[in-house]
A and B are shown apart, each in its own frame.
Chain A
Amino acid sequence: MSRHEHLERSIPSTSSDPTAEVTVTINGVTLTRQVSTRMLLSDFIRHGLRLTGTHVGCEHGVCGACTIMIDGRAARSCLTFAVQADGAEIRTIESEEKDDGTLSALQQAFQECHGLQCGYCTPGMIMNIRSHFDSGEELDLSDDGIRELISGNLCRCTGYANIVKAVRRAAELTGRA
């Protein structure tokens, strides 16, 4: 047994970046790309597809800034490799704007209620809230219920009060209240 067996075990079979082919449907557009297997989905979206609306904060799943929707469910794009999304349907904040360029009900509610200040957390907030709105589940629109719903997204500006208002306003605008 080699003295360095524990080191040898972690050596990959190649020293060049292995790539894989990935086909994703992003905001309704189906694309096929060759990506490095260790490319995070957040980096693929921002740098590979130049969709820079998805923000990257902590890159280890705590802040929620990079939240997108994968197959209709909110997920952290920084905790997913692009190769894992092969065949998936992805929605990012860019899908929120309507075709005529006007804001979606969620975006409008954030604007009306001043639910953002610097705006860094907003794309992740909106995609997380969107997944709850679209899932058809019953929404708990009490203060506690909304705070629970957005608990996975950190905001360092607003103190959350206006985001809570914005979620309630969005529910009114979409007839969910």
Chain B
Amino acid sequence: MAAAGDELRMWRNFQRRARFFRPDVGECRVKPPLFDYLVARSSDEAIRLLSDNPGAMILAGGQSLIPAMNFRLASPSALIDISRIAALKSIDIVDGNVRVGAAVKHRDLEQSDAAFAVNPLMRTALHYVAHVPIRNRGTTVGSLCHADAAAEMPMILLLSDGWVMAEGPNGQRKIPAAEFFEFHMTTTREADEMIVSATFPALPSGAGYAFAEFARRKGDYAVAAVGAILECDLDGRVAAARLAACGIASRPIRLFDVEASLVGANLSDAEIDAAGELAKEAVTAPDDANATTAYRQHLLASLTRRVIREASEKVRKG
């Protein structure tokens, strides 16, 4: 016969084990907040659902949205799943440019040889977007809409002078990258609009390109990253230059001053160093857990020098 104290202890042990073996009893084990889940079968249906459900969000791959929901940083009233819409899953070459549908996974774009032939910068940069298991599910257009200021693909869209196509109840409108990214995680998409595709223009023929990034761990968002597209004339002088950076401001930005300084340059070491110094002025991000402003300036100058050198090596003159 067990003493009363022992019996109580045995009951407690039993209850503890019972809870372990019957984990669904009396426990709520969900992390994200409550939402309605709606599956759209066409983009028209998705847009209608978006208008009918205020506070709803589009779910494509969910690789940014679901972690935000797990932390309860995002609590959409409904999720509209567009990942089953076949029409949004294609990568097309339209007028020589790469058009990426809203449900195209990063990994599919990375592995698309047709897209690589037109704009190789995409594959180069996609390699830096998180890790393969994330790229297997995350979508490129989703990343553009999430608009993290340190994300690679928004910067590549801006650098390539691309655009997104927004579709709402009143039809489609084209939003150039320069007007799309407004602030960290904020775009000029209206609440009733869905971005149905993004277009990454072809690189100019013969242009050299490069992308360089600094992150503390492989796959993290960039502390700073820079991309460059250079064209040279027959003498080897820079005829046109485009540079853009991310991680250093509240949105991806073009480095216009650096571009202007490079036109006509021979790309001597002194000119490249000067371009790096000019790039520092673009840093507006305040000190944060990853880096101070001064450190970001140092990184941006260094990465700018690196992409200019690398891009110039790839240029076909004339």
Q: Which of A12, A37, A128 contacts B77 (CB 8 A)?
A: A12
Asked if A67 CB lies within 8 Å of chain B CBs, one says yes
Asked if B219 CB lies within 8 Å of chain A CBs, one says yes
Q: Which of B34, B81, B134 contacts A79 (CB 8 A)?
A: B134
Most buried by B among A8, A149, A151: A151
The bracket for how many chain A residues form the interface is: 35 or more
Is A67 a contact partner of B31 (Cβ separation < 8 A)? no
Asked if B284 CB lies within 8 Å of chain A CBs, one says no
On whether A128 and B35 interact (CB within 8 A), knowing A43-B29, A80-B62, the answer reads: no
Is B54 a contact partner of A9 (Cβ separation < 8 A)? yes
Q: Which of B112-146 contact A (CB under 8 A)?
A: 130-134, 136-137
On whether A152 and B132 interact (CB within 8 A), knowing A80-B137, A81-B66, the answer reads: yes
In whole Å, how far is B60's beta carbon from the nearest beta carbon of chain A? 10
Is B137 a contact partner of A20 (Cβ separation < 8 A)? no
Contacts of B66 in A (CB 8 A): 40, 61, 78-81
Contacts of B131 in A (CB 8 A): 64, 151-152
Is B132 a contact partner of A60 (Cβ separation < 8 A)? no
Asked if A38 CB lies within 8 Å of chain B CBs, one says yes
Instruction: Give 20 A-B pairs besides A13-B53, A61-B130 with Cβ atoms closer than 8 angstroms.
Output: A9-B77, A11-B77, A14-B34, A17-B30, A37-B35, A38-B35, A39-B30, A40-B70, A47-B24, A59-B70, A60-B70, A75-B137, A76-B63, A76-B137, A79-B62, A79-B137, A132-B132, A149-B132, A152-B130, A152-B133
Q: A81–B83 Cα gap in the complex (Å)?
A: 12
Q: Which of B155-173 contact A (CB under 8 A)?
A: none
Q: A13–B186 Cα gap in the complex (Å)?
A: 26
On whether A83 and B37 interact (CB within 8 A), knowing A75-B133, A76-B134, the answer reads: yes
Contacts of A20 in B (CB 8 A): 37
Q: Which of A123-137 contact B (CB under 8 A)?
A: 128, 131-132
Asked if B107 CB lies within 8 Å of chain A CBs, one says yes
Q: Which of B32, B53, B54, B55 contacts A38 (CB 8 A)?
A: B32
Is A74 a contact partner of B133 (Cβ separation < 8 A)? yes
Asked if B318 CB lies within 8 Å of chain A CBs, one says no
Closest 8 CB pairs of A and B: A152-B131, A9-B55, A37-B37, A60-B67, A74-B133, A73-B136, A151-B218, A38-B32
Q: A19–B253 Cα gap in the complex (Å)?
A: 43
Q: A83–B76 Cα gap in the complex (Å)?
A: 16
Q: Which of A82-141 contact B (CB under 8 A)?
A: 83-84, 128, 131-132
In the complex, what residue of chain A is closest to B59 when comparing beta carbons?
Answer: A84
For B27-57 the 0/1 string (1 means CB < 8 A from A) is 0011111111100000000000000011100
Contacts of B81 in A (CB 8 A): 83-84
Binding site for A on B (CB under 8 A): 23-24, 29-37, 53-55, 59, 62-63, 66-67, 69-71, 75-79, 81, 83, 107, 130-134, 136-137, 218-219
On whether A11 and B83 interact (CB within 8 A), knowing A59-B31, A79-B66, A152-B219, the answer reads: no
In whole Å, how far is B185's beta carbon from the nearest beta carbon of chain A? 16
In whole Å, how far is A164's beta carbon from the nearest beta carbon of chain B? 14
Contacts of A152 in B (CB 8 A): 130-134, 219
Q: A78–B219 Cα gap in the complex (Å)?
A: 18
In whole Å, how far is A46's beta carbon from the nearest beta carbon of chain B? 8
Contacts of B37 in A (CB 8 A): 18, 20, 37, 81, 83
Is A61 a contact partner of B63 (Cβ separation < 8 A)? yes
Is A76 a contact partner of B133 (Cβ separation < 8 A)? yes
Contacts of B137 in A (CB 8 A): 70, 73, 75-76, 79-80
Q: A17–B83 Cα gap in the complex (Å)?
A: 23
Asked if A10 CB lies within 8 Å of chain B CBs, one says yes
Is A37 a contact partner of B136 (Cβ separation < 8 A)? no
In whole Å, how far is B134's beta carbon from the nearest beta carbon of chain A? 6
On whether A10 and B83 interact (CB within 8 A), knowing A18-B37, A79-B137, the answer reads: no
